[in-house]
Structure 1
Amino acid sequence: SLAAIGSGLANGWASPYLAQLTSTEANMPLRLTDSEASWVASLLNLGRVVGALLSALCQEYIGRKKVLLLGGVPLIASWIFSICATTVMWLYISRFCSGIGSGMMWAALSLYLSEIADPKIRGSLISMNVNASSVGMFLGNAMGPYLSMEMFGYVSLVPSILFMILFSLIPESPYHYLLHGDIDKAEASLKWFRREADVKAEMRDLQEFVDGAETNIFLKLKEFLMPSNLKKPLVIIGIYVFSYLSGYSALYSYAEIILTKGRITITPSLVVTILGFCTIVAGSTAILLVDKLGRKCLLIMSSVGTSISLALLGLHFHLLSLEYDANTLTWLPIIALLTFNLSMSSGLLPIPSTLLGEMFTANMKNMASLCVSSSNALLSFASAKSYQPFLDLVGETFVYWTYSICVLFSVPYVYFLIPETTGKSLIEIQRSIKK
């Protein structure tokens, strides 16, 4: 969770500081043009592509745990660069390093948690760590208006450093040990996580799950590219496509600027902080419900709520263009963004990470992680980078209505293509998918 909070702080940095760095009134060490701000907002996601690639290559040989620890290094470096930033280039480097660290971490974290968790709580555990990222975003939104960029960097170093110290005390995944033939260490690891003396039955299931798995990355790639195996990552990437078609990367980064343009009568930074807190509440609700209602149900509810919220946000800017009184409309963008945050955080954000940790055989996990995580990062980069040009081209109203229509198409997609994995062990999931 400390790693996720550190990653969330990097995401939460964008909304308050982009608003300040592009303002002529704020007392900041440098000023950004709209184009520079667009790059600062999106370079984190480009770094995630590099991080996902490094993570997949390293996991194969050194394991999930060491990759997660290595991911802390670029995150720490990013805050050091942010503290030292006197030109926009320092910010570019800082955001890119944040992306590398986040990409390494998220590509390994879902797999690590899926391998150590009991099937009854696996979805909740992964959702909890996604929600921890929301906690980091909330803290970033809350601290941003009151701390200098330099002080924000010093504060944000703390969770990353603590994570590297404390996580080094936790065992590697038993799957990794079994994959490399170290049965004694695998059993010791499983006992540590289960707090039970007898884990022989589960060890047999794990052994069955990893039997026949290759460690040669080129043989894995060849097997991964077979049509029957390629279908599953493409299905998960499809969910991410709809997530980013909602524009959430851009909306989170530009939240304060959106509210300022919406001419609300409440301080925008305060509203953004409240929105961040509501995201945590929604994520906590998802933790409780994901293993009860199931993955598909939450995804469909999340998609419908997200679509409605974007339609309302577009309606607000349409009414402003018709010269309605902005004071009487203050509630509309706030309710729209509140519904957007609640809807995204209860399904479309946490559940794809859960499915990534569940749907693949031991042989395909790393390749799937690389494929999905790098695609996810590229989609996020494209979403954040295209937002400003799209906005300049058609205006706020049609941007948000376009997002609303796009995300609504995810409902039939989820209903017909996403398998239900709730409550099943990893070996049971593979059996059901083969059927």
Structure 2
Amino acid sequence: MSFREDNEEGRDLRKPFLHTGSWYRMGSRQSSMMEKLGSSTMVIRDNSISVLLCVLIVALGPIQFGFTGGYSSPTQAAIISDLGLSISEFSIFGSLSNVGAMVGAIASGQIAEYIGRKGSLMIASIPNIIGWLAISFAHDSSFLYMGRLLEGFGVGVISYTVPVYIAEIAPQNMRGGLGSVNQLSVTIGIMLAYILGIFVNWRVLAVLGILPCTILIPGLFFIPESPRWLAKMGMMDEFEASLQVLRGFDTDISVEVNEIKRSVASTTRRTTIRFSDLKQRRYWFPLTMGIGLLVLQQASGINGVLFYSTTIFEAAGISSSNVATCGVGAIQVLATGVTTWLVDKAGRRLLLIVSSSGMTVSLLLVSICFYVKDILSEESRFYSLMGILSVVGIVTFVLTFSLGVGAIPWVIMSEVMPVNIKSLAGSVATLFNWLTSWVITMTANLLLTWSSGGTFTLYTIVSAFTVVFVALWVPETKGRTLEEIQWSFR
């Protein structure tokens, strides 16, 4: 049965994911509108507050994402000691979340397409909760690995679905800032893992990792489904009701409704896309852009730095490495918060160029410092200076990464993918992101053992290439509707 068929069976399959919640008494027209979305729909008169509330609820997913990423840094020494793991075995543990995320990324597009954005986030939350419980009760590497894989699967689905949902509900003048909340939440999750890791042992920290998803699941019942997904599924009454809730009942949504209907109509005339069709610029250009940005984001080595920051600071000669790691987490949150404010003012392209240029310079500084340290004796007065400069370089790298390359590739991916290939193209782009992340996470510890200077030299080359890629390939999408962006590729 097609979801486009207007029958009772088709509606029953989707209905649990359309319900939201009720906050205030509405007039008869508004009540009628809400009946189209379900029996319990949340409505707020201020449209910006309504959208912001939706974003804050789904942002619990990226917090879970960040907590998963940050977990391995403060717990490395304790887990290795308690379970008798080697460095290689712990590296496998750290990287298995990326393996699970690759599987989740492959499935994410189809899940989000089949049961909606809200439904896919509900499904993603369950393996996350089970995964954290498995890690907290682990007495050998098998439970540890299984829990990490389950977490990774949930994170893979979340990493695709949340940016897409935010892009589809946000007004064009707020889309960049709200889209950046996704990465801001990731950095908050990382910082929480770093800070809590100082005060609690690794088992308790795993239990605390359950909280974001246990709050997310009930929260999803209080927000509307993506209006663009509803329109694509042929649920036009629910689509208009959802959009009216998001924009406010005093807002005329007729222009936006017509744009979305026109876009959906043009993409549903032909439902099957052949590989030969990908040769058309309207498909290959946004697909190449999305994959390229998400691959370069991870190939810069950010996860290697964040996952093993405590080890890196120890190699740089910093005695309070856990405190330094927490400082990096805090800086990342602040810088990403600045990006959230700037992205709709300065634009995506400019921030990407500034960010990747800053990353290149800071990584070059770190690599030079480690090279010099290798040829100096520990008694040399320049030895400690090189350690300090390398820490400055790492902090600057995280800061400049957070100013653009951290958040904006996800925003652009959610903006540029054509509607009729969004599920497949978005899944592929997310898969490549997680594949690259896995390679970086799996090799970072081993590369740092081989040569710290050589490791950061490789990351420097990637960051320099990112500057070139953005300058040549990435157009500005600020202030344009999703439909305008996708029409521009034609």
Normalising by structure 2, what TM-score? 0.83
> How far, CA to CA, are the matches of 2:324 and 2:449 in structure 1?
25
| 1:405 shift after superposition | 2.2
Matching residue of 1:419 = 475
| 1:116 shift after superposition | 0.4
Matching residue of 1:25 = none
Write the letter of the residue equivalent to 2:151.
Answer: S
| 1:313 shift after superposition | 1.5
Query: 1:381 is matched with which residue: 438, 445, 449?
Result: 438
> How far, CA to CA, are the matches of 2:106 and 2:270 in structure 1?
16
Structure 2 gaps of 5+ residues are 1-58
1:29 is paired with a residue whose SS is: helix
> How far, CA to CA, are the matches of 2:277 and 2:199 in structure 1?
49
Contact between 1:221 and 1:367, CA under 8 Å: does it hold in 2? no
Matching residue of 1:406 = 462
Distance change >3 Å, CA 357–CA 221, structure 1 → 2: farther
> How far, CA to CA, are the matches of 1:142 and 1:210 in structure 2?
46
Query: 2:301 is matched with which residue: 231, 241, 247?
Result: 247
Matching residue of 2:74 = 16
Write the letter of the residue equivalent to 1:246.
Answer: S
Matching residue of 1:190 = 243
Query: 1:158 is matched with which residue: 211, 233, 251?
Result: 211
| 1:215 shift after superposition | 10
Q: Deviations over 1:8-48 (max 9, x none)?
A: 111110111124334xxxxx531321111111111111111
Write the letter of the residue equivalent to 2:75.
Answer: Y
> How far, CA to CA, are the matches of 1:215 and 1:43 in structure 2?
41
Matching residue of 1:68 = 121
| 1:135 shift after superposition | 0.3
Contact between 2:417 and 2:426, CA under 8 Å: does it hold in 1? no
Matching residue of 1:206 = 260
Aligned residue runs from structure 1 range 281-320, under 5 A: 281-320=334-373
1:212 is paired with a residue whose SS is: helix
> How far, CA to CA, are the matches of 2:205 and 2:270 in structure 1?
43
Contact between 2:308 and 2:445, CA under 8 Å: does it hold in 1? no
Matching residue of 1:131 = 184
1:206 is paired with a residue whose SS is: helix
| 1:222 shift after superposition | 4.5
> How far, CA to CA, are the matches of 1:169 and 1:127 in structure 2?
22
1:333 lines up with 2:390 in the alignment: yes
| 1:322 shift after superposition | 2.0
Contact between 1:209 and 1:361, CA under 8 Å: does it hold in 2? no
Matching residue of 2:425 = 368
Matching residue of 2:287 = 233
Q: Deviations over 1:24-79 (max 9, x none)?
A: xxxx5313211111111111111111101221121222111100111111111111
Q: Deviations over 1:275-329 (max 9, x none)?
A: 0000000000100111111111111111111111111211221222122444344
Matching residue of 2:47 = none
> How far, CA to CA, are the matches of 1:367 and 1:119 in structure 2?
24
Computed over aligned residues only, the root mean square deviation of the Cα atoms, in angstroms, reads 1.8
Contact between 1:15 and 1:254, CA under 8 Å: does it hold in 2? yes
Identical columns (%): 29
| 1:224 shift after superposition | 6.1
> How far, CA to CA, are the matches of 1:216 and 1:386 in structure 2?
43
Matching residue of 2:64 = 6
Deviates more, 1:417-426 or 1:320-329: 320-329
Contact between 2:316 and 2:391, CA under 8 Å: does it hold in 1? no
Q: Deviations over 1:241-293 (max 9, x none)?
A: 3222321121111100111111124x000000010000000000100111111
Normalising by structure 1, what TM-score? 0.94
> How far, CA to CA, are the matches of 1:163 and 1:223 in structure 2?
40
| 1:140 shift after superposition | 0.2
Contact between 2:180 and 2:340, CA under 8 Å: does it hold in 1? yes
How many aligned residue pairs are there? 426
Query: 2:93 is matched with which residue: 40, 46, 54?
Result: 40
Structure 1 gaps of 5+ residues are 23-27
